[in-house]
């Protein structure tokens, strides 16, 4: 019996997967930055520190595939939201990107990075990938394969270019491209609950007119002109034992919008504006509270209200009044809950859907104070994504940092962030932009919307060179640029230990558990040295020793395990490979991209 066939995207070189070296990251303190405080001395960038506002924000310069591998040990399952805006493979040569890659090579590069990104997400985390038409369809099928098709959430269309007058902007044989696509996946749909409530805005009367043109019924057509006399009746309790006070109302006055137009001599728009806080619709809300109210208010008349303090939701912790009418105790929903007054206009708030527009595209070049033609994304776009998928304090990652928009927005919104960027603009563009954010001098983008005043900081990190290099005779040896601390941290990564040097035991460079430790040295250890170390480790603990050489019978020390460097790690990965930008050799013939059942 054969396995169930699946839909799969195939391309030349798909089977080629890099064996990545898990590099360490080195801080460049000349480019790190913190508001009104000195930069700490160089140390382990991933160690826990008291100053999390500084240490949790990482800007990494280097190949993002190597950077993601470097982050894997510490950050797997820790990132709540990932946004990526990879090169679109349009065939154009951008100033900051080599963006014209064969489909096969683009897909291989994309797949390798997405596979690592998925591992970094929390179980309830969300992945956003923005693309244009050129690779979006291929990317969708590839992402279905990496994340699982059942974890696909949405495809968002975002208006990213303005239409240039009646001519439409000069596309040749095709329609003008003013839409880009954002593919959205959860890591695990069973763990993902829902997006946060985020609202778009539209003029209320445009919404009403559109609904009427489509033959749909607009429900908010009545207003309460008087709540009458309110009389306390009794107190009941919700399922948690919280009080619910019940009131009966007499002589309540309800009038339709048309009646008010005639009585007050006003237009429909004027009536909506005047009675904005009193206009309502009936809802047949199914809730435990409504069921309790129905049971407790039998015989109390046509109109009742309650007062209680919700334990969750938008009114959490606030005394709240709800109103019910009719024998079925229909709950009144207020127009003011879904709309608001802005000057002389009424604005309706619509829950965000899958078409996004309204971003300040004409002034985009000014955001952040850095020029980044053809690649910069509006801060308002990233804000919308983070509003939907994160809360303050969550960790956000962008492995195609570009001009630094994701980090700038996450910083202003109180999220922790990690950005990776290969190009020189990592320090020529992103660093100056982030410094302005931290100093509070960047008042563009979303700054005013979130009342940003400055603060925080970030660490600027570079990917360390390969741990092993070949010497003049072609033998793999420890890279001479590695000092003792770098070597210890790198070996911890290779051997699966957390790098955590002890201030007490010289032999404790890291640990895999409370009783299992690692010691790294370039020295050659004698029998007597090993005996002394073994005695200090004791019978209740175990120690892995990685050294250049040793002269002893290893069976004599049951609590010690000895490995020689570099022999112990030679077969673990590809060594001295720094460029994964073009990872496959297209020699097998013309590019073939097909969907097929296997």
pLDDT digits (tens, 9 = 90+) for 528-537: 999 999 999 9
Please write the tens of the pLDDT for every residue from 185-235. Answer: 999 999 999 999 898 888 899 989 989 999 999 999 999 999 999 999 999
Neighbour-count burial for 416-431, b at 16+ CB within 10 Å, e otherwise = bbbbbbbbebbbebbb
Report the range of poorest mean pLDDT among 235-249, 477-491, 542-556, 583-597. 583-597
Whether 584 shows a pLDDT value over 90: the answer reads: no
Mean of per-residue pLDDT scores for the chain:
87
129 and 24 within one domain: yes
In sequence order, the β-bridge partners of residue 59 are 419, 460
Q: Is residue 586 part of a domain?
A: no
Neighbour-count burial for 101-116, b at 16+ CB within 10 Å, e otherwise = bbbbbbbbbbbbbbeb
pLDDT at 160: 87
405 and 343 within one domain: no
pLDDT at 148: 95
pLDDT at 3: 59
Q: Is residue 575 part of a domain?
A: no
SS (H, E, C) 3-47: CCCCEEEECCCCCCCCCCCCCCEEECCCCCEECCCCCCCCCCCCC
pLDDT at 202: 85
**Mean pLDDT confidence for 453-461:** 95
**Mean pLDDT confidence for 28-32:** 95
| Distance, CA of 504 to CA of 520 (rounded, Å) | 16
Within its chain, how far is the Cα of 157 from the centroid?
Answer: 18
| Distance, CA of 520 to CA of 507 (rounded, Å) | 8
Out of 310, 327, 349, pick the residue that ends a domain: 349
189 and 76 within one domain: yes
pLDDT band at 134 (very low <50, low <70, confident <90, very high): confident
Within its chain, how far is the Cα of 365 from the centroid?
Answer: 24
Within its chain, how far is the Cα of 561 from the centroid?
Answer: 41
**Mean pLDDT confidence for 105-132:** 95
Report the range of poorest mean pLDDT among 4-8, 207-211, 342-346. 4-8
Residue that wins the pLDDT comparison between 432 and 5: 432
284 and 191 within one domain: no
Beta strands in 359-410 (DSSP E): 395-398
474 and 385 within one domain: no
Cβ atoms within 10 Å, residue 399: 26
Q: Is residue 597 part of a domain?
A: no
In sequence order, the β-bridge partners of residue 246 are 234, 306
95 and 244 within one domain: no
Q: Is residue 596 part of a domain?
A: no
240 and 193 within one domain: no
pLDDT at 364: 66
Cβ atoms within 10 Å, residue 207: 17
CA contacts within 13 A on the Cβ side of 377: 32
| Distance, CA of 275 to CA of 518 (rounded, Å) | 72
pLDDT at 41: 40
180 and 31 within one domain: yes
Please write the tens of the pLDDT for every residue from 57-80. Answer: 999 999 999 999 999 999 999 999
**Mean pLDDT confidence for 138-142:** 94
Q: Is residue 247 part of a domain?
A: yes
| Distance, CA of 500 to CA of 567 (rounded, Å) | 24
Q: Is residue 520 part of a domain?
A: yes
339 and 310 within one domain: yes
Nearest to 56 by CA among 390, 396, 384, 383: 396
Residue that wins the pLDDT comparison between 52 and 57: 57
Out of 448, 463, 478, pick the residue that ends a domain: 463
- The structure tokens 């010289």 sit at 506
180 and 32 within one domain: yes
pLDDT at 582: 35
| Dihedral (Cα; 386, 389, 394, 396), 10-degree rounding | -60
pLDDT at 161: 81
pLDDT at 359: 82
Say if CB 542 and CB 522 are below 8 A apart.
no
Out of 408, 433, 463, pick the residue that ends a domain: 463
Please write the tens of the pLDDT for every residue from 481-522. Answer: 999 999 999 999 999 999 999 999 999 999 999 999 999 999
**Mean pLDDT confidence for 42-46:** 43
Residues near 583 by beta carbon (within 8 Å), at least 6 away in sequence: 13, 16, 18, 105, 108, 109, 112
- Which CATH number fits the domain that encloses residue 150? 3.40.50.150
| Distance, CA of 525 to CA of 549 (rounded, Å) | 6
223 and 267 within one domain: yes
Structural domain of 542: 468-569
pLDDT band at 50 (very low <50, low <70, confident <90, very high): very low
Length reported for the chain: 598
pLDDT at 101: 60
C-alpha to C-alpha distances, 578 to 229, 465, 469, 487, 566, nearest whole angstrom: 78, 8, 12, 18, 19
Residues near 95 by beta carbon (within 8 Å), at least 6 away in sequence: 373, 374
User: How is residue 78 written in tokens?
Assistant: 């820790």
pLDDT at 592: 36
| Dihedral (Cα; 380, 384, 387, 392), 10-degree rounding | -30
| Distance, CA of 121 to CA of 186 (rounded, Å) | 9
Q: Is residue 574 part of a domain?
A: no
pTM of the model: 0.79
Residue that wins the pLDDT comparison between 554 and 250: 250
| Distance, CA of 344 to CA of 26 (rounded, Å) | 56
336 and 373 within one domain: no
Q: Is residue 7 part of a domain?
A: no
pLDDT at 596: 36
**Mean pLDDT confidence for 536-556:** 92
Report the range of poorest mean pLDDT among 17-21, 136-140, 198-202, 435-439. 198-202
What three-state secondary structure class fits 597?
A: strand
In sequence order, the β-bridge partners of residue 279 are 223
C-alpha to C-alpha distances, 398 to 64, 239, 246, 328, nearest whole angstrom: 10, 44, 51, 51
Please write the tens of the pLDDT for every residue from 157-176. Answer: 999 887 655 444 555 678 88
pLDDT at 488: 96
Residues near 489 by beta carbon (within 8 Å), at least 6 away in sequence: 24, 44, 499, 509
| Distance, CA of 64 to CA of 579 (rounded, Å) | 10
Q: Count of domains in the chain?
A: 3
């Amino acid at each position: 019996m054969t396995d169930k066939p699946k839909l799969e995207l195939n391309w030349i070189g798909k089977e080629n997967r890099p064996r990545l070296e898990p590099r360490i990251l080195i801080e460049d303190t000349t480019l790190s930055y913190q508001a009104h405080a000195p930069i700490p001395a160089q140390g382990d960038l991933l160690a826990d520190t008291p100053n999390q506002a500084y240490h949790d924000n990482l800007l990494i310069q280097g190949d993002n595939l190597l950077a993601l591998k470097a982050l894997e040990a510490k950050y797997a399952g820790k990132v709540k939201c990932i946004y990526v805006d990879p090169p679109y493979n349009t065939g154009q040569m951008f100033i900051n990107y080599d963006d014209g890659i064969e489909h096969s090579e683009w897909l291989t590069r994309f797949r390798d990075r997405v596979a690592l990104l998925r591992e970094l997400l929390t179980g309830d985390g969300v992945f956003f990938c923005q693309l244009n038409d050129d690779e979006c369809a291929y990317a969708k099928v590839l992402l279905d394969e990496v994340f699982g098709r059942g974890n696909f959430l949405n495809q968002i269309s975002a208006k990213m270019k303005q239409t240039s007058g009646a001519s439409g902007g000069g596309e040749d044989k095709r329609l003008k491209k003013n839409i880009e696509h954002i593919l959205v996946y959860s890591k695990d749909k069973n763990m993902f609950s829902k997006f946060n409530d985020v609202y778009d805005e539209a003029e209320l009367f445009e919404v009403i007119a559109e609904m009427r043109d489509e033959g749909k019924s607009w429900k908010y057509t009545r207003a309460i002109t008087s709540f009458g006399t309110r009389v306390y009746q009794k107190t009941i309790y919700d399922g948690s034992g919280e009080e619910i006070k019940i009131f009966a109302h007499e002589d309540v006055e309800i009038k339709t919008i048309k009646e008010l137009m005639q009585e007050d001599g006003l237009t429909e728009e004027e009536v909506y504006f005047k009675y904005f806080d009193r206009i309502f619709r009936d809802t047949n809300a199914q809730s435990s509270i409504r069921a309790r109210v129905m049971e407790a208010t039998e015989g109390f008349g046509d109109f009742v209200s309650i007062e209680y303090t919700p334990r969750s939701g938008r009114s959490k912790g606030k005394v709240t009044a709800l109103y019910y009418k009719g024998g079925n105790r229909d709950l009144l929903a207020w127009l003011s809950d879904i709309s608001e007054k802005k000057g002389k206009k009424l604005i309706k708030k619509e829950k965000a859907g899958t078409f996004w527009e309204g971003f300040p595209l004409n002034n985009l070049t000014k955001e952040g104070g850095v020029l980044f033609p053809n690649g910069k994304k509006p801060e308002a776009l990233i804000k919308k994504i983070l509003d939907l998928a994160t809360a303050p304090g969550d960790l956000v990652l962008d492995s195609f940092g570009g001009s630094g928009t994701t980090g700038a927005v996450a910083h202003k919104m109180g999220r922790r962030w990690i950005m990776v960027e290969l190009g020189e603009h990592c320090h020529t563009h992103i660093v100056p932009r982030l410094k302005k954010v931290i100093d509070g001098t960047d008042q563009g983008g979303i700054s005013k919307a979130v009342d940003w005043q400055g603060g925080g900081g970030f660490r600027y990190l570079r990917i360390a060179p390969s741990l092993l290099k070949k010497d003049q005779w072609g033998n793999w040896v420890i890279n001479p640029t590695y000092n003792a601390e770098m070597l210890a941290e790198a070996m911890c990564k290779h051997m699966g230990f957390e790098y955590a040097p002890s201030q007490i035991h010289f032999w404790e460079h890291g640990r895999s558990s409370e009783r299992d430790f690692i010691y790294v040295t370039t020295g050659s250890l004698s029998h007597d040295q090993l005996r002394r170390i073994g005695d200090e480790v004791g019978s209740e603990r175990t120690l892995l020793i990685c050294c250049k050489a040793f002269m002893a019978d290893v069976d004599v020390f049951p609590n010690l395990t000895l490995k020689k460097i570099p022999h112990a790690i030679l077969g673990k990965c590809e060594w001295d490979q720094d460029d994964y930008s073009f990872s496959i050799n297209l020699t097998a013939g013309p590019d073939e991209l097909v969907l097929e059942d296997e």
